[in-house]
């Protein structure tokens, strides 16, 4: 069966790593018609927006997209295109596996964690009140009158919504993922001792959801303690379920545990719809140089194949990536012992080496 998948090359290093990932996925033999849709700073001038309606329409139609990173322009009034896509499509779960590969230089070995981050709520919802504005002063006044808490009038305010529906869906996703992928434990992570009505609520809902999964262990950790635990004893953890902001921070921490952003894949998943993308951003200074590591984007393609039910192809591609990294020959500069190692290959050459392994599998 042929799939139609929306391919959003993105901007910065996006187009080159997207092309590399597309070629690697095609090499598995899974038939995909790629529908190319442009978003980001490169299309902004022509389309008048960094996120043309056709991009969203294409994802809604095809239900699956592979997306390159997109720059968030500073000072133009545009919020993040990446956050907008997740919110418009209700892609409530952000899945970020953090797995060690032999050959990647890292302080840690055998890391195998899965981060499930809520994607649409929390401080990331973009509900903000600018300092000094009439609405902000009105809100400050309301808070003082209704719950007798004083906020300095010069303050800016960001709102942190955590809903029953959002948390239930997210935690259920984490448990379902654990069951499907033979995982043993889900750890919910918040700062519930301080934010009782949001993070405390997250725990309360998570505990209810956990009751339906007696075979999967459930536990809770406070975010500050979790940071220390992940650095000291990451092997104690398995699947982590977190509200949006903590999930964002822990994702980068875990990317650090496995050797950096260049190899950290991700997926944004909603009801019957998913957008796959690397954890890293558009690294604009490397744009068009054919030097950056395509691995995170290719492994996002592995997650996509797995989501499509193409398990054998997903496995074949992941094994090919692992083999090329383990050999350490046809890898980009960031995977060499020294950043200026002359034997480092380019983005597309690393993809070629992976494709050769896929074809010989
Ligand atoms: P970044 O991830 O783009 O880059 C940080 C550094 O990480 C780079 O300078 C580079 O040294 C390294 N790096 C990143 N990807 C790499 C790769 N594939 N291979 C080798 N090295 C790599 O983070 P940033 O500089 O904070 O963000 C740049 C832009 O990307 C910003 O506009 C930001 O908003 C955006 N961004 C987009 C996404 C997304 O599209 N989902 C995610 C994060 C950041």
pLDDT, one tens digit per residue, over 115-171 is 999 999 999 888 999 999 999 999 999 999 999 999 999 999 999 999 999 999 999
Cα 13 to ligand 1 centroid, rounded to whole Å: 9
The answer to whether 41 touches 73, Cβ cutoff 8 Å, is: yes
**Cα dihedral sign, 40-46-49-55:** negative
CA nearest to 318, candidates 299, 296, 335, 305: 299
pLDDT of residue 356 exceeding 90: yes
pLDDT of residue 80 exceeding 70: yes
Does 40 sit in the ligand 1 pocket, CB within 6 Å? no
Q: What is the pLDDT of residues 182-241, one digit of tens each?
A: 999 999 999 999 999 999 999 999 999 999 999 999 999 999 999 999 999 999 999 999
Strands 157-158 and 273-278 turn out to be unpaired
Q: What is the pLDDT of residues 235-293, one digit of tens each?
A: 999 999 999 999 999 999 999 999 988 899 999 999 999 999 999 999 999 999 999 99
The answer to whether 17 touches 68, Cβ cutoff 8 Å, is: yes
Query: What band does 314 get if pLDDT is binned at 50, 70 and 90?
Result: very high
Q: In whole angstroms, give the CA distance from residue 326 to residue 63.
A: 34
Q: In whole angstroms, give the CA distance from residue 34 to residue 195.
A: 44
Q: What is the pLDDT of residues 7-33, one digit of tens each?
A: 999 999 999 999 999 999 999 999 999
Query: What band does 305 get if pLDDT is binned at 50, 70 and 90?
Result: very high
Selecting among 11, 199, 238, 248, the annotated active-site residue is 248
DSSP letters spanning 304-361? HHHHTT-HHHHHHHHHHHHHHHHH-SS--GGGSSSTT-TTPPPHHHHHHHHHHHHHH-
Does 71 sit in the ligand 1 pocket, CB within 6 Å? yes
Q: What pLDDT, on the 0 to 100 scale, is given for residue 345?
A: 97
The answer to whether 219 touches 185, Cβ cutoff 8 Å, is: yes
Does 69 sit in the ligand 1 pocket, CB within 6 Å? yes
Query: What band does 40 get if pLDDT is binned at 50, 70 and 90?
Result: very high
Q: CATH 3.40.50.300: does it fit domain 1-99+261-361?
A: no
Atom of ligand 1 nearest to the CA of 71: 32
Atom of ligand 1 nearest to the CA of 17: 18
3-class state of residue 259 by DSSP: coil
Q: What pLDDT, on the 0 to 100 scale, is given for residue 76?
A: 65
Q: What pLDDT, on the 0 to 100 scale, is given for residue 75?
A: 67
- Whether 196 is a known active-site residue: answer no
Query: What band does 361 get if pLDDT is binned at 50, 70 and 90?
Result: confident
Atom of ligand 1 nearest to the CA of 266: 41
Identify the residue whose C-alpha is closest to ligand 1 atom 26: 281
The CA-CA-CA angle for residues 284, 8, 61, to 5°, reads: 160
Q: In whole angstroms, give the CA distance from residue 246 to residue 30.
A: 36
- Whether 248 is a known active-site residue: answer yes
- Whether 112 is a known active-site residue: answer no
Query: CA neighbours within 13 Å on the CB side: how many for 219?
Result: 11
């Amino acid at each position: 069966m042929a799939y139609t998948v929306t391919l959003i090359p993105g901007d910065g290093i996006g187009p080159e790593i997207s092309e590399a990932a597309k070629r690697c996925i095609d090499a598995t033999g899974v038939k995909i018609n790629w529908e190319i849709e442009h978003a980001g700073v490169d299309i902004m001038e022509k389309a008048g927006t960094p996120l043309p309606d056709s991009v969203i329409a294409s994802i809604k139609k095809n239900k699956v997209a592979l997306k390159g990173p997109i720059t968030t322009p500073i000072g133009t009034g545009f919020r993040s295109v990446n956050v907008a896509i997740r919110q418009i499509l209700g892609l409530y779960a952000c899945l970020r596996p953090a797995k060690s590969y032999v050959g990647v230089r890292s302080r840690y070995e055998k890391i195998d964690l899965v981060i499930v981050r809520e994607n649409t709520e929390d401080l990331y919802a973009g509900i903000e009140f600018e300092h000094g504005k009439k609405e902000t002063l009105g809100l400050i006044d309301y808070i003082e009158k209704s719950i007798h808490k004083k906020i300095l009038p010069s303050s800016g305010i960001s709102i942190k919504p955590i809903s029953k529906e959002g948390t239930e869906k997210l935690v259920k996703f984490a448990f379902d993922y654990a069951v499907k992928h033979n995982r043993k434990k889900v750890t919910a992570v918040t700062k519930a001792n301080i934010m009782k009505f949001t993070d405390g609520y997250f725990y309360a809902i998570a505990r209810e959801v956990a009751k339906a999964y007696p075979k999967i262990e459930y536990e809770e950790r406070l975010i500050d303690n979790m940071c220390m635990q992940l650095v000291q004893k990451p092997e104690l953890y398995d699947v982590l379920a977190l509200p949006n902001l903590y999930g964002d921070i822990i994702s980068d921490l875990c990317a650090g545990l496995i050797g950096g952003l260049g190899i950290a894949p991700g997926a944004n998943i909603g009801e019957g719809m998913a957008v796959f993308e690397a954890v890293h951003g558009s690294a604009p200074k490397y744009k068009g140089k054919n030097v950056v590591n395509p691995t995170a984007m290719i492994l996002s393609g592995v997650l996509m194949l797995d989501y499509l039910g193409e398990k054998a192809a997903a496995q074949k591609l992941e094994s090919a990536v692992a083999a090329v990294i383990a050999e350490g020959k046809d890898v980009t500069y960031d995977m060499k012992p020294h950043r200026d190692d002359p034997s480092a290959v380019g983005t597309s050459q690393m993809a070629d080496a992976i494709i050769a392994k896929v074809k010989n599998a």
